[in-house]
Amino acid sequence: MRRLIELSRNPAMIALVGALALTGCASKKNVPNSPADLGLNGAGSAQPGTSQDFTVNVGDRIFFDTNSSVIRADAQQTLAKQAQWLGQYPNYSITVEGHADERGTREFNIGLGARRAAAARDFLVSRGVSSNRIGTVSYGKERPVAVCDDISCWSQNRRAVTVLK
């Protein structure tokens, strides 16, 4: 029944092609996302040594110029404070998340986020934080913190965020 019969242009003759149903289903585990960025909620008096203290009083993130992973002067100050804080509280390990703005293509931005995370990590190591306390991950342009369509937004998304573990 599934033979294909070779036929002529005669209207009474036709070719036979068999076809079956197309089905299938996917089943897989649901794995939750890793923790979201810490919010800047502006709480005034954070307990020293807490993640809130780190976020509010030290600063958990640095920003980059377009397409760049160079640690700017303002970012160097923030990272120096992070290194000092991490020296004070040696029980924390950290993940440095590298992010890119939306003005790039997806795969390249994964690469760019990784480069930014590594640059921040290397700076922290240069300021005395042990490299085995630091992990990195790139989110490319997948986790924008600011959502709008102008330059001020894009500059907030070009960031490396230090997340305490």
Partner 1 sequence: MMNRFFRLLTRTGLAAAAGLWLVLPAQAVVEIDVNRGTVEPLPIAITDFLSEDGLGKQVSEVIAADLARSGLFRPIDSAAFIQQIDNPDQSPRFQDWTAIDAQALVTGRIVPDGGRLRAEFRLWDTYGQSQIIGEQFFTTPENWRRVAHIIADTIYKALTGEEGYFDTRVVFVDESGPEDKRIKRLAIMDQDGANLRYLTKGGQIVLTPRFSPNRQEVTYMSYADGQPRVYLLQLETGQRELIGNIPGMSFAPRFSPDGSKVVMSIGRQDGNSDVFTMDLSSRTMQRLTDTNAIDTSPSYSPEAGQIVFTSDRGGPSQIYKMNADGSGQTRISFGNGSYSTPVWSPRGDLIAFTKQTGSEFAIGVMKPDGSGERILTSGYLVEGPTWAPNGRVIMFFREEAGGGPKLRSIDLTGRNEQAIPTPNFASDPAWSPRLD
Residue list 63-82, contact with partner 1 (CB under 8 A): 67, 69
Reference 141, options 161, 158, 119, 163; nearest CA is 158
Q: What is the DSSP letter of 1?
A: -
Q: In whole angstroms, how close is the CB of 12 to partner 1 at the nearest point? A: 6
Strands 159-164 vs 94-99: parallel, antiparallel or unpaired = antiparallel
Q: Are 6 and 130 contacting, i.e. CB atoms less than 8 angstroms apart?
A: no
Minimum CB distance to partner 1, residue 96 (Å): 10
Q: Which is nearer to partner 1, 59 or 144 (CB)?
A: 144
Q: Does residue number 19 form part of the binding site for partner 1 (CB under 8 A)?
A: yes
Compute the Cα dihedral for 40, 94, 61, 103 and give only its sign: negative
Is residue 41 a contact residue for partner 1 (CB under 8 A)?
no
Instruction: Retrieve residue 63's tokens.
Output: 């920003």
Of the pair 2, 44, the CB lying nearest partner 1 is at: 2
Which positions lie near partner 1, rule CB under 8 A? 1-4, 6-7, 9-34, 36, 67, 69, 98, 102-108, 110-112, 114-119, 136-140, 142-145, 147-149
